[in-house]
Structure 1
Amino acid sequence: MMDFAHARRTMVDNQLRTSGITNWHILDVMNRVPRERFVSEARSALAYSDEEIALSETRTMPAPATFGKLVQLAEVGPDDVVLDIACGTGYSTAVLAGLANAVVALDDEEALVVQANDILADLDIGNAAAVCGPLEAGVAKEAPFDVILIEGAVDEVPETLFSQLRDGGRLVAVIGSGNAAVTHLYVKSGKSVVSRAAFNASLPVLAAFKRAPSFAF
């Protein structure tokens, strides 16, 4: 039987630390959350590999280092309320719940949302819950959020999500597709949102955030 605790420590030492993830809170939480619980039994041996893991036909769990870098960029704090978009089976939600005050997780696949809530409850994580709905719509009734994390590549971030950020809130998104995609940090200040490019990251494109095609005449 695979030693998952050892696999977690190896992931932290050989994947997270070597990728520039220095926030000890993130390293500690990712060393404790059982990633194998959030994938199918057939894929559990791959849970700590440095690769994406398919959760459904349209949703994947990001590689540990990629996810860790997104969270580190968001600077999640203990008083923050976080919106976790495209949460899948809830691994990201569980990690964020160990860093934040509360987490609202969102996915548009009902089966994944049900699975996420079941696992979170089984792990006794009481400050997080998943809901089903359109990814691009966010969860307005739970806004404002201190942090919004989008777990997939997007063409652009809709204004709807920026409107759900608290003043001073941060949104992290990967803009573009393939290896040329760039992670951006958006910070809300009053009615304005400023952004900066941070690092390249490759994540599957989320269809809900594809830019509508324009017609040329």
Structure 2
Amino acid sequence: MLDYAQARRLMVDCQLRTFDVNDIAVLDAFDAVPRERFVPPGREDFAYIDQTLRLGGADGDARFLPAPMVLARMIQALAIEPGARILDVGAGYGYAAALMARLGARVVALEPVPGLAAAARERLGGTAEIVEAPLAAGAAGHGPYDAILVEGRVELRPQALLDQLKDGGRLVCVMGRDRSAKTTLFVRAGDAFGARPLFDANLPGLAAFAAEAGFSF
């Protein structure tokens, strides 16, 4: 049987630290939260590989667990402080929500797929609030938010989510199409939103944020 504690330590040392993840609190969270608990039953031994893992959901709008190094840099970019209010969009089984709760955040995990939401609720055990609602609309009634994490690729600027940020709040997502996608950080300043690319990455797309046929950037 795989030694999950050792696999977790190797993930932190060999995947995260070598991919510019240097925030000690983030590294400690990834070392503390058992990633194997947040994958489908029977897939635990694959939890620590450097790949995106499918969690479930319908074809065309399935939910995936981002590869550790991608997720770690996305969370690091949010600069989460204890007590911050965070929205996790496309939460799946709740792994990212558990990490951000470990950082001291108050997390709202948005997951419209009933089976995944139920799995997240069981695994998180009250450390995050689970909301079952469409992804594109966000969860404005629980905001505004200090930070928003989008766990999937978006093809369109997620304006409805950006509008739910506090002034100075941050949103991180993978934005673009296929191999041209980049992890992008948005920062709100009043009614304006600055954006800058952070690094190349590719995650499966979220249907709620897909461009219409014929749309181009």
Query: TM-score of the superposition, structure 1-length normalised?
Result: 0.93
Q: Which residue of 2 aligns with 1:186?
A: 186
Match of 1:95 in 2: 99
Deviations 1:178-197 (A, max 9, x none): 23201111111111111111
CA contact (8 A) 1:172 1:185 kept: yes
Alignment-derived partner of residue 83 in structure 1: 87
Task: Indicate the RMSD between aligned Cα atoms, in angstroms.
Answer: 1.3
- Structure 1, unmatched stretches of 5+, are none
Q: Where in structure 2 are the equivalents of 1:42-191 lying within 5 Å? A: 42-57=42-57, 58-121=62-125, 126-191=126-191
Structure 2 stretches lacking a partner, 5+ long: none
- Kept in 2: contact 1:85–1:135 (CA 8 A): yes
SS at structure 1 position matched to 2:151: strand
TM-score (norm 2): 0.93
Equivalent residue letter for 1:93: A
Cα contact 1:177–1:203 (8 A) shared by 2: no
Query: In 2, distance between residues paired with 1:181 and 1:214?
Result: 18
The Cα of 1:54 is off from its aligned counterpart by 1.1
Question: Partners in 2 of 1:132 and 1:59 — Cα distance?
Answer: 14
The answer as to whether partners of 1:101 and 1:127 remain within 8 angstroms in 2 is no
Residue 55 (structure 1) shift: 0.6
Distance (whole Å) between structure 2 residues aligned to residue 103 and residue 199 of structure 1: 25
**8 Å CA contact 1:154, 1:176 repeated in 2:** yes
Distance 1:66 1:111 in 2: 25
Contact 1:82–1:146 (CA<8 Å) still a contact in 2?
yes
Question: Structure 1 counterpart of 2:129, which letter?
Answer: A
- Quick check: 2:80–2:105 contact (8 Å CA) kept in 1? no
Please state how far the C-alpha of 1:214 moved relative to its aligned partner: 5.0
> 1:92 corresponds to which letter in structure 2?
A
Distance (Å, rounded) in 1 between the aligned partners of 2:210 and 2:41: 32
Q: Percent identity?
A: 43
The Cα offsets for residues 144-200 of structure 1, whole Å up to 9 and x where unpaired, read as 000001011101133211111001100111111323201111111111111111111
Task: Tell whether the 8 Å contact from 1:153 to 1:206 is kept in structure 2 after alignment.
Answer: yes
Give the distance between the partners of 1:49 and 1:26, measured in 2 at CA.
19
Q: What is the SS of the residue equivalent to 1:21?
A: coil
Which residue is equivalent to 1:212?
212
Cα drift, residue 76 of structure 1: 1.2
The Cα of 1:34 is off from its aligned counterpart by 0.6
**Which letter maps to 1:25?**
A
